[in-house]
Structure formats: C-alpha cells, structure tokens
Amino acid sequence: MRILRPGISPWPVITAAWDRAVDLLYPLRCPACGEFETPFCDACEARLIESAAVPRCPFCSAGWEGEDNCPLCFGFDALSGVQAPFEYNRISRSLIRALKYRNALPLAPVMARHIQPILAPGSYDAVFPVPLHRSRRRERGFNQAELLLEALAIESPPDRLIRARKTRAQYGLAPTERSRNISGAFRYEGPSLLGANVALLDDVVTTGATVNECARVLRDMGASNVNAIAFARATYSAPADKSLNI
Ligand SMILES: [Zn+2]
Ligand SMILES: [Zn+2]
C-alpha cells in the first residue's frame, strides 16, 4: 500500500485506482479518451503526430528545428540512428502507459502495425527487444518491447541481450548522471554479431541513453550498425517524464 505524505495530492493515486477498477470491468477501451469496446479509437488515432509532421534531427529523430544534428546526438557514441513513426505526445504516451502499466495487451498489435513499415521482417540481421531487469519483468508479467516484437512476427532468440543490473528511473537525472546510471547495465550472451545490421526495439525513446548503452554492448560484439526503433520519439527539449518508470 502506498502511504500518502502530507502535502502530496491524493488525486494521482485515486485516479490510478479508478483506472484499474474500470479496466477490470471494461478491459477494452481507448486509453486516450476512454471510449469503450475499442483498444484505440479512430478519433484519437487521428491525433497522433506523425514523425514526418515536425522538423526532426536527421540522426536521432528527436523533434528539433536546427539545421544540423540536435545536441542529444553528441551523447550517442554507439547508436547508428533512431526511428519512430510518432512524436511522443499526450496520445502516444497514453498508449505506451496503458500497455506497460495497465496490461492493455490488445494495444501491442495496434502499435506494432505502425512500427511495421520501419521494421519489416528481414530488414535487419537481428532484432532485440530492449530488455527489462528480470525482477521488473516478473513484477510486470511481460516486457512490452517483446510484445511488440511478437506482434510484428519477428523472431528473436530470448535472453541474448539482458539487463544484468537494475537501474534507477532516468527522469530527474542530468545527462551525465543518466549515462552513469545505465552504464554497464546490459550484457549480451549469444553468438558473434560481426558485421551485423541490428535493430533495438522499444515502446518509446526519450533521452536515448538506454538504447545507446544497449547499442554499445552490441557493437562490442561486432555489430556494424545498431538502430533504435520505437513507437514514439520524444522531442529534444521535452521535459523528463516522471510517469515512465523505464
Ligand atoms: Zn480515443
Ligand atoms: Zn539528434
């Protein structure tokens, strides 16, 4: 049970409890507007912002209006690039959160359908879901990135890329602290990836520190390219999202 501290609003807790209760009664409803009997309604789908609709960094796809790469890119020493069909906004965030925290499993194929054009089967030598630490996976019951991969019908041998160390949530940390927090968290246990063109799949890329660290491990195993692919990509200047316990 969560204890409320004085001065902290109880509304987020009450809202979350209400959402869970409604989820039990009506498991199929749009996470953005609450419409029943659809995992995601057409009106909300139309309010997703396609990546192509806003200026982006040519390398890491963060929303960015400058001419060259965005400042985030300086921290990416292992990634070959980031791609996502949608901007991280209120609507895409509601899908990501509902899949991850409210077990809205019918959303996985909905999200995968939009990822499919940039991650068609056969376009990479290997695709790895960004792993969760085994304790978090047990707690949640699944890894949302694995669900997306399954929905895409892409085979990936399990437990090759693993999260060997539990990390703190990345929000509220300065960029250097983020890199330190995630450094050494992943391990690869599998055959050599010499010369391989590899993709990492996750639901969302925000700071990119996690996927860059995964990419470093895969590059150490010989991968020549490691692209991160996600359902949504945060804008460069987006504030840290405390609601994502990644
Ligand atoms: Zn809706
Ligand atoms: Zn960039």
- Say how many Å lie between the CA of residue 35 and the centre of ligand 2: 36
Q: Which of 185, 166, 178 is nearest to 240 (CA)?
A: 178
Query: Confidence band (pLDDT; 50, 70, 90) for 166?
Result: confident
For residue 237, the ligand closest to its alpha carbon is 2
Average pLDDT for residues 43-69, to the nearest whole number? 93
Q: Is 222 left (phi over 0), alpha (psi -120 to 50) or beta?
A: left
On the CB side of 199, how many CA atoms lie within 13 Å of its CA?
23
Task: Spell out the SS3 assignment of 105-151.
Answer: CCHHHHHHHHHHHHCCCCCCCEEEECCCEHHHHHHHCCCHHHHHHHH
Element (H, E) at 201: strand 197-205
Determine the straight-line distance between the first and last CA of the chain, rounded to whole angstroms.
Answer: 21
Count CB-CB contacts under 10 A for residue 127: 20
Compute the distance between CA of residue 177 and CA of residue 172 in angstroms, rounded to an integer: 9
Residues near ion ligand 1 (CB < 5 Å) are 30, 32-33, 35, 41, 44
HSE-CB at 77 with a 13 A cutoff on CA atoms is 7
The ligand whose atoms approach the alpha carbon of 28 most closely is 1
The alpha helices in the chain, defined as continuous H runs, are 11-25, 42-45, 90-101, 107-115, 134-140, 144-151, 175-182, 209-220
pLDDT tens-digit series, residues 192-243: 999 999 999 999 999 899 999 999 999 999 999 999 999 999 987 766 666 6
Which domains, ranges and CATH numbers included, belong to the chain?
A: 54-233 (3.40.50)
Q: Give residue 153 CA to ligand 2 midpoint distance, Å.
A: 29
Of the chain, the percentage scoring pLDDT greater than 70 comes to 85
32 alpha carbon – ligand 1 mean position (Å): 5
User: What confidence score (pLDDT) does residue 1 get?
Assistant: 39
Q: What is the mean pLDDT of the chain?
A: 88
Neighbours of ion ligand 2 (CB under 5 A): 57, 59-60, 62, 69-70, 72-73
Rounded (to 5) percent helix, strand, coil in the chain = 35, 15, 50
The pLDDT of residue 136: 92
Ligand nearest to the CA of 37: 1
pTM of the model: 0.86
Asked if pLDDT for residue 186 goes beyond 90, the answer is yes
- Say if residue 91's pLDDT is above 90: yes
Distance 106 CA to ligand 2 centre (A): 32
Ligand closest to Cα of 46 equals 1
Asked whether residue 178 carries a pLDDT value surpassing 80, the answer given is: no
**C-alpha 238 to ligand 1 mean position (Å):** 23
Residue 13 has pLDDT above 60, yes or no: yes
205 Cα to the center of ligand 2, angstroms: 12
| Statement: residue 172 has pLDDT above 80 | no
Name the closest ligand to CA 72: 2
Please, which pLDDT band fits residue 5 given cuts at 50, 70 and 90?
A: very low
Task: Please give the biggest Cα pair distance in the chain.
Answer: 56
**Per-residue pLDDT for 135 more than 90?**
yes
